[in-house]
Amino acid sequence: MYSQGLIGADSRTGESEEFLEAFQKRIDAEEKIEPKDAMPEGYRRTLIRQIGQHAHSEIVGMLPEGNWITRAPSLKRKAALLAKVQDEGGHGLYLYAAAETLGVSREQMTEELHSGRAKYSSIFNYPTLSWADIGAIGWLVDGAAIMNQIPLCRCSFGPYARAMIRICKEESFHQRQGYEIMLTLCRGTPEQKEMAQDALNRFWWPALMMFGPHDKDSAHSEQSMKWKIKRFSNDQLRQKFIDATVPQAEYLGLSVPDPDLRWDPELNDGKGGYRHGEIDWDEFWRVVKGDGVMNRDRIAARRKAWEEGAWVREAALAHAEKRKAAMAAAE
Amino acid sequence: MKDENLFNALIELADDHSILCHRLGEWCGHAPILEEDLALTNMALDLIGTARNLYTYAAEIEGRGRSEDDLAYLRNERQFRNLLMVERPNGDFAHTMLRQLFFAAFMEPYWQAALESRDETLRGIAGKALKEMGYHIRHAGEWVIRLGDGTEESAERMQAAMEALHIYVDELFHSSPAAEAAAKAGLLPERGALRTAWLENITPILAEARLELPEAPNPQIGGRAGLHGEDLGHILCEMQYLQRSHPGATW
Amino acid sequence: MQKNGRLRWRPRSEAGASPRTPGYFRTNDEESEMKEETPLWEVFIRPRNGLAHRHVGSVHAADAVLALDAARDVYTRRGEGNSIWVVPSAAITASDPDHADETFDPTADKIYRHPTFYDIPEDVGHM
């Protein structure tokens, strides 16, 4: 569950023109690049950064939803939420493995996350304050993620594309799960509907921010598009998301918290689309840079799990060594 | 009500599974290794599946139109009938794995015996749960072995977990009057008869883990009478909060 | 550098290593603060009898038994298979993509290995 214009990737690369051209030819021919293929250093670096950010987003993303597992209001919802948060963990795992094919270890990436050097989707730095937030996350956040993730299934880097195919398949229930929660709340008591509206109010703008800065302000987008790591621009995907989501909000009987939202028949090459109001990019950068409500708590929770689990990992390794030694002695 | 004893016995079992699922769910996102986040959640999902089957069947036996959620979310501490072991806080990974092993090592032979139940629904529930418990024994057992015979620190932690949890083992083999009656009626297994099977599951694992099961001259017993420790109330506060604060709402 | 698509030469020892070469690329120059790393395993699953095991992904685990459990818990949650193999990633030796030309191209002109190379009159029937 991730979607964000890549933040802070350095796609600079120092190879010869000849090398870069030959590489670009492979990309243009829709050839997949596999881990041991020669590739520009910038391509490798961008991928490690992007897959890492994606993986971290899945892992940190377990926390806001995990926050409601013990308070899920029915056994059915509890089982679905457990399965969904588990999926996010699995997706983080697949993605770490995809990045590991490039020679960076999961431990190194984990260390980057814990030290604050690696970023993750800023949406997870917002708190989940009510049960409706679980609905809103499934509906909006997973909805936004799907927009981004489906094109990633065709990413030029083989292991990433393969991980994304598996992830997209598994995630197909996530958005429906969220929307069903919203639907149930909206058809429920006035308090429940109010809860749903409040969740939409709080998650709408952060969901739009998930697609990253506007194209004109997105420094590394162009190179990523050329290398087919990315297939659509931030603004294209955001537009697609808004056009798909506004009617869904109407169906729920909820109002999108944007007074400037209006239908414009000229958009999308005359097919029409929704124009939206100004996104608060100051808020976006504030949260990305660490000053969202939950940034510190999220990293602290991940660090705690990792540090308090160190003795478990060490014990497993020590036991494996003992077994190896015992086997060797028996031979 | 068709069979009050069976209803009560089913509630006991359902509460065991629901509360233990709740505890495992607390780990989700906080496990020592990502792979264990998935493993612990898988076990939690097995448990909630069985809990739902049992609550649903209990509601059916009761015949008063209550749902699985009414039973899980609208009874209070004194009405909960789970074993004390399953409500114990997770502690560290050693505690969680040992508790899981203790529980699964009992439920596996329990469901095995329940395959002979006179009740078809219970045979169905048992058939599914039996396989799940087999995996829980294996997975938790592998960890108990590794932690018991890993590093000095892990061995100490495993030992501490053993000291903390062994006093709850005896309650596994106790039967409430309801469970006793259900056993006599050939519906559910006799819990007291499963001690040998439990030990057969546990003993080889503990041996490899270099652990011993201490004697428990004064075991902790009371869950089946609704006499719990202080932790259960807090579990229910969290678990039931939405159902309680929005009476009658649908989720 | 060589022509026809040969992009960059790397010494044999490095190129012939496992497809994942830990430490090949570091995201930071400092030594990692992490302690010993839990090994990586490649996971292969057979969807059902009659099919081959297929690579599905990887897990981290301290030993083979935990790796099998992890593979089960991670990769078979939706009934994806009935048999699992796990192989230490470090145990895999891979062919070198830089040598792909001499490894794979020489077969391209040996068309007599394919049935369509041979002319048989249609009257003979299916062969």
Q: How far is C77 from chain B (nearest CA, A)?
A: 8
Residue C5 lies in a domain: no
Q: Is the pLDDT of residue A231 over 90?
A: no
Q: How many domains does chain C have?
A: 1
Residue C73 lies in a domain: yes
Least confident of A116-120, B115-119, C108-112: C108-112
Residues of B in contact with C59 (CB under 8 A): 35
Residues of C in contact with A316 (CB under 8 A): 38, 61-63, 66
Residue by residue, what is the 3-state secondary structure of A195-249? HHHHHHHHHHHHHHHCCCCCHHHCCCHHHHHHCCCCCCCHHHHHHHHHHHHHHHH
Average pLDDT rounded to a whole number, residues A34-40: 92
Nearest to A86 by CA among B35, B22, B33, B128: B35
What's the whole-model pTM score? 0.92
Q: Is the pLDDT of residue C26 over 60?
A: no
The CATH number linked to C42 is 3.10.20.520
**Within a 10 A sphere around the Cβ of B57, how many other Cβ atoms?**
21
Per-residue pLDDT at A200: 98
- Put simply, the answer to whether B35 touches C77 (Cβ < 8 Å) is no
Distance from C-alpha of A163 to C-alpha of A142, rounded to nearest angstrom = 17
Residue C24 lies in a domain: no
Residue C16 lies in a domain: no
A73 confidence band (pLDDT: 50, 70, 90): very high
- Put simply, the answer to whether A117 touches C60 (Cβ < 8 Å) is no
Under a CB-based contact definition with an 8 Å cutoff, are residues A37 and A100 in contact?
no
Q: Is the pLDDT of residue A243 over 90?
A: yes
Spatial neighbors of A25 by CB under 8 A, at least 6 apart, are none
Average pLDDT rounded to a whole number, residues A69-78: 98
Q: Is the pLDDT of residue C33 over 50?
A: no
Residues of B in contact with A84 (CB under 8 A): none
- Put simply, the answer to whether A166 touches C97 (Cβ < 8 Å) is no
Which residue of chain B has the CA closest to C67? B35
Q: Measure CB to CB from residue A315 to each of B25, B31, B146 and give the nearest one.
A: B146
Q: Is the pLDDT of residue A295 over 60?
A: yes
Determine the Cα angle at A68 with ends A62 and A69, to 5°: 80
Q: Is the pLDDT of residue C29 over 60?
A: no
Q: Which residues constitute the domain of residue C43?
A: 38-87
C9 confidence band (pLDDT: 50, 70, 90): very low
Under a CB-based contact definition with an 8 Å cutoff, are residues C54 and C43 in contact?
no
Q: Is the pLDDT of residue A117 over 50?
A: yes
Residue C116 lies in a domain: no
A230 confidence band (pLDDT: 50, 70, 90): confident
Per-residue pLDDT at B170: 98
Asked if B170 reaches chain A (Cβ–Cβ under 8 Å), the answer is: no
ipTM of the complex: 0.97
Domains delineated in chain B: 4-245 (1.20.1260.10)
Which residue of chain B has the CA closest to C73? B39
Per-residue pLDDT at A148: 87
Under a CB-based contact definition with an 8 Å cutoff, are residues A153 and B220 in contact?
no
Alpha-carbon distance values, B107 to A148, A285, A305, B161 (Å)? 45, 52, 30, 20
Distance from C-alpha of A234 to C-alpha of A62, rounded to nearest angstrom = 24
3-state secondary structure of C56: strand
Averaged pLDDT in 10-residue chunks for chain B of 251 residues:
92 98 97 97 98 98 97 98 98 98 98 98 98 97 98 98 98 98 98 98 98 96 98 98 97 97
CB neighbour burial string for A175-208, b if at least 16 within 10 angstroms, e if fewer: bebbbbbbbbbbebeeebbebbbbbbebbbbbbb
Q: How far is A313 from chain B (nearest CA, A)?
A: 7
Q: How far is B173 from chain A (nearest CA, A)?
A: 27
Per-residue pLDDT at C2: 37
Per-residue pLDDT at B42: 97
Distance from C-alpha of B138 to C-alpha of B131, rounded to nearest angstrom = 11
Residues of B in contact with A106 (CB under 8 A): 34
Residue C4 lies in a domain: no
Which residue of chain C has the CA closest to B138? C69
**Percent of chain A residues past pLDDT 90, beyond the cut:** 86
Q: Is the pLDDT of residue C3 over 70?
A: no
Average pLDDT rounded to a whole number, residues A161-185: 94
Q: Measure CB to CB from residue A184 to each of B37, B149, B250 and give the nearest one.
A: B250
